[in-house]
Structure 1
């Protein structure tokens, strides 16, 4: 192959000979460098040809109208140096391109991650809270929803916007409109900003105003943050320790039982006398039944006629913990219930309430306490009274707990003792009889059923 010094004129005049597919103009100064021309084309390219591992290799450097002679020579020398070093220029080029592509992908991935992080960091507490409520409300365990309607309502209460005009009487110094829920201040914040300092400042303010409600709101907030920490969408931006540091725990008021929030033995008779004189027979029967069954206020208020079995003397209570529990229908409670009007499906019905059942019996109860000259007593205090007064009859603790719907605490209670309804009925009747005896009420049978005799 004849070699010449490459010049612009020689390259310009170089053509592929007729009858040949391609022709090469080889450089006399740099080994392996040539100009390649092909038949039927005016395009010419610099190429480099050499042997790599005993085999001929040819690479295209570039167009002659783009690459200068000097640049093409430099590139050819570079390729030869790689070969002299035992490297294949094709592999080197492929590796370089792969590295560039990997770098490009890494930058794109980094940019995407940064974008996602920015999006995540912009997530508000309200957005995460809505996802939390939706997921937990739909959760099913052992074939039943994990959250009941009341539990959902409590969560909704703490994030209500407030500002609604109060329909009922106000307490002293209370505003005409409802205040925002305790967790509302967090809702507009970014989730990433909800940290220990934020929670601490909030707790100090709320505990000073309403310690019991603040403690409950805190427990809801803590459960929410724990959920976020376990959720892939929020775990990277939530401060999982926001509610778990020792400094925070010291700010949370400990749960306290109301002192003296139960009836004493000497107070039973005046309480019954006042409650039985309440003009509304449904409220009167409800309050007495609340004391004599030890049920939770909403469990009893939601009792339906289909839940009362007059034949087998039982009532099915919609337990807020276990779902359902069956308790005895004692004689006096049966007497109270049987006398009530059957307006709808609820035993303790209310034609004025939207739900159709008794909603708020506290005012009549408080008035009855005033008439009887008794100290303040909450509706939950009636449930507490049932457990306390039962000790006068020396009832086994497990019996009372099962009637009231308390979870068993001892191993034997949990796994071995399964009391039949008849056994519960035996003891429950004894409790009722003792309370009625203290109240001065006697139940005697007649042809129509039972009737009361005031002692």
Structure 2
């Protein structure tokens, strides 16, 4: 069918399948103030044209035998499919016995009331942050929740370390924003905060900034707060540049550095700390996962370790011979494998000191605890271990469909690879393994 010429008038007596061309040709009949073109696909959807040529999508329906209309939007701003979807939504609202105009009025009043409350100072960032954490807590892990608490903490508590020599805890990076009203979280306020935090603690500030963006996104999705926040207030260029780009960490143990590192770790005065650092390298876990390891998580009979995983909840990995040799030699002070030497019912709290001392003795300054996890992954490349095996031991999410849905590796299969990795690392480090003890499996 040939396309109608642009100057051909549209027949307003019949509903048609709305097109951009039909809307473009639509004109208001002479002598009338407005006219309506009906859509054949979405009952209730109209295009209104006025005498001066303005065109908009309109929803029209009957309510209590009276015609009601609600403007959807200008035809230049709304696509036809979007206007149809909105017309269907309004139709459902109407069929439920609700007047869309009344609901819009109530929503407008609710927003006005919320803004009024904020203007009076009754809704602060601190109050909303507390509601946000409580609402999200079921979706978060304990560590993630604790991180959010730390980000907003007041500080000023007496402490012996982690205070930059001040003798008291530092406030969390988000604390300066907590006293503000929610409505005052403007781009200007956040940029000023970002500039200060970017100078004082760039890495921690970058984490706080990401959490702040997530918080503000949540606010925009909640009816009580969405009128009080600017969705993109924390996403400005100045805020982003204040923290710079996160650098790619490259601290890793090379194969030829293993003898010096192991010798330095074994020379540490604390057997518990020495065992922790070696185990961290040999199983490639996250530092926090290993710190909270309990004796009940170790299955000597079936030679397995249950790791509390931040991604999947928990994972099982093999209990390799040398790791078990290290752990079985530790005293059972409390429920934790790596028990604190000063607190009766706690685990090691800060292994960084021992790591720093060992690395200094081995001339390996700059190597971090997370660098040991990175080292585990890197060293497995020498043995060409399947990437999925390494990821499963380390607790990384599967990266391919076959890994996610089709590959199931039992503990015994993981053990074949993991013991090979351990034996090779110890061989390079020139560490002798004691003969394994027989384990009853009856």
Q: TM-score, normalised by structure 1?
A: 0.69
SS at match of 2:155: coil
SS at match of 2:305: strand
* Alignment-derived partner of residue 359 in structure 2: 369
SS at match of 1:414: helix
Correspondence for 1:178 among 169, 172, 182: 169
Q: How does 1:291-302 map to 2 (within 5 A)?
A: 291-302=281-292
Question: Is the 8 Å Cα contact of residues 114 and 225 (structure 2) preserved in structure 1?
Answer: no
* Alignment-derived partner of residue 233 in structure 2: 242
Change (3 A) 1:242 1:111: closer
Correspondence for 2:155 among 158, 162, 173: 162
Shift of the alpha carbon at 1:112?
Answer: 8.8
Correspondence for 1:119 among 117, 120, 137: 117
SS at match of 2:313: coil
Q: How does 1:350-361 map to 2 (within 5 A)?
A: 350-353=340-343, 355-361=345-351
* Alignment-derived partner of residue 272 in structure 2: 282
Change (3 A) 1:254 1:415: farther
Alignment partners' CA distance in 2, 1:351 and 1:446: 29
* Alignment-derived partner of residue 373 in structure 2: 383
* Alignment-derived partner of residue 130 in structure 2: 130
Shift of the alpha carbon at 1:162?
Answer: 1.6
Q: How does 1:299-448 map to 2 (within 5 A)?
A: 299-353=289-343, 355-445=345-435
Q: What are the Cα deviations for residues 15-38 of structure 1, in whole angstroms up to 9, with x where unaligned? A: xxxxxxxxxxxxxxxxxxxxxxxx
Q: What are the Cα deviations for residues 330-370 of structure 1, in whole angstroms up to 9, with x where unaligned? A: 00001111111111111111241365211111112211222
Question: Is the 8 Å Cα contact of residues 152 and 172 (structure 2) preserved in structure 1?
Answer: yes
Question: Is the 8 Å Cα contact of residues 261 and 358 (structure 2) preserved in structure 1?
Answer: yes
Q: Cα RMSD (Å) of the superposition?
A: 2.4
Change (3 A) 1:427 1:114: closer
Q: Radius of gyration: which is bigger?
A: 1
Alignment partners' CA distance in 2, 1:156 and 1:262: 31
Question: Is the 8 Å Cα contact of residues 353 and 359 (structure 1) preserved in structure 2?
Answer: no
Shift of the alpha carbon at 1:175?
Answer: 3.3
* Alignment-derived partner of residue 85 in structure 1: none
Change (3 A) 1:110 1:190: same
For these two proteins, the number of residue pairs brought into alignment is 333
Shift of the alpha carbon at 1:373?
Answer: 2.3
Alignment partners' CA distance in 2, 1:108 and 1:307: 55
- Consecutive unaligned residues of structure 1, counting only runs of 5 or more, are 1-106, 140-145, 450-455
